[in-house]
Amino acid sequence: MSTFPSSSAQRALEVMGARLRSIRREASLSGRDLARLAGWHSSKVSRIEHAQRTPSPADIRAWCRHCGVPEQAPDLVASLEAIEGMFVEWRHMERTGLKKAQEAVVPRWERTRHFRIYSSKLIPGPLQTRAYIAAILSALMRRRGLRDDVEAAVQVRVDKQHVIHEGDHRFAVVLEESVLRAPIGGADVMAGQLGRLLTVSALPSISLGIIPSTLTGPPCGLWRGSSCSTTPRSPSNLSPAT
């Protein structure tokens, strides 16, 4: 599977589907039972759980209500907004170039106060080094045939990392061990990136956890919801790769 934003968004949608399936099963409801209670077509539940259909906020609220856990709906809706933002950013990038795509998310970075990020593929954007960013965006540019504005896009992403040092922003980051071993940009780039993780993990604004490769069971059990969600002053979201 590709590690770029389009596949990251799809993976996040799959994680959400798995969480919704777990909620339904914990309520001892079959897919048909839930569809009947919600007034949906009988196939809708299965399609959402298998990430073949994106639920709406109303769908999520109905799902949680009929499963007896309405209190879980707000977190899941926030996760849905994050997923939708990932797809929007991908489409925006293909239309306008990498620099514009980076600039488009700056307001969200700045107004979001609490970030929760889980990633199984890449170091999250706020923690990336310049060389790591350049390696990712250069590969993306070549893969998608985008115009070459990588240098300018890298600078925008580096500049917006000021949020980890300023204000009352807080980051809770969980990475799978495989992220640390992925050869993004080569050995020197990864050595620098691992050094940066050690440095930023000491900041009061950042909590960093690593899921070891020997762990059995799905890592999404650590947090309810999707692979990334945020708690902003106003609705916002952040892709793990941005």
How big is the CA angle at 182 (ends 181 and 187), to the nearest 5 degrees? 80
pLDDT of residue 230: 39
**pLDDT for residue 13 is more than 60:** yes
CA-closest candidate to residue 83, choices 139, 15, 18: 15
Does residue 223 sit within a domain? yes
- End-to-end CA gap in the chain: 18
Model-level pTM greater than 0.75?
A: no
Full residue range of the structural domain in which residue 181 is found: 109-232
pLDDT: which is higher, 136 or 105: 136
Tens of pLDDT, residues 176-203: 999 999 999 999 999 999 999 999 999 9
pLDDT of residue 172: 92
Which of 12-16, 73-77, 93-97, 113-117 is least confident?
93-97
Does residue 19 sit within a domain? no
Does residue 188 sit within a domain? yes
Structure tokens at 108: 């969200």
Pairing of strands 228-232, 112-119: antiparallel
Does residue 222 sit within a domain? yes
pLDDT of residue 67: 96
Does residue 18 sit within a domain? no
**pLDDT for residue 93 is more than 70:** no
Does residue 15 sit within a domain? no
CA 196/CA 59 separation, integer angstroms? 41
* CA dihedral (178, 222, 126, 119) positive or negative: positive
DSSP string, the chain: ---SHHHHHHHHHHHHHHHHHHHHHHTT--HHHHHHHHT--TTHHHHHHTTSSPPPHHHHHHHHHHTT-GGGHHHHHHHHHHHHHHHHHHHHHHHH-HHHHHHHTHHHHHHEEEEEEEESSS--GGG--HHHHHHHHHHHHHHHT--S-HHHHHHHHHHGGGGGTSTT-EEEEEEEHHHHHS-TT-HHHHHHHHHHHHHHTTSTTEEEEEE-TT--S-GGGGSSS-SEEEEESSS----TT-
Does residue 196 sit within a domain? yes
CA 70/CA 156 separation, integer angstroms? 39
pLDDT of residue 3: 37
In this structure, the number of other CB atoms found within 10 A of the CB of residue 65 comes to 13
CA 233/CA 113 separation, integer angstroms? 7
Among all chains, which residue has been given the structure tokens 């916002």? 236
Does residue 209 sit within a domain? yes
Half-sphere exposure of 26 (CA within 13 A, CB side): 11
**pLDDT for residue 106 is more than 50:** yes
How many distinct structural domains can be found in the chain?
1
Tens of pLDDT, residues 44-72: 999 999 988 989 999 999 999 999 999 99
Tens of pLDDT, residues 132-146: 999 999 998 888 787
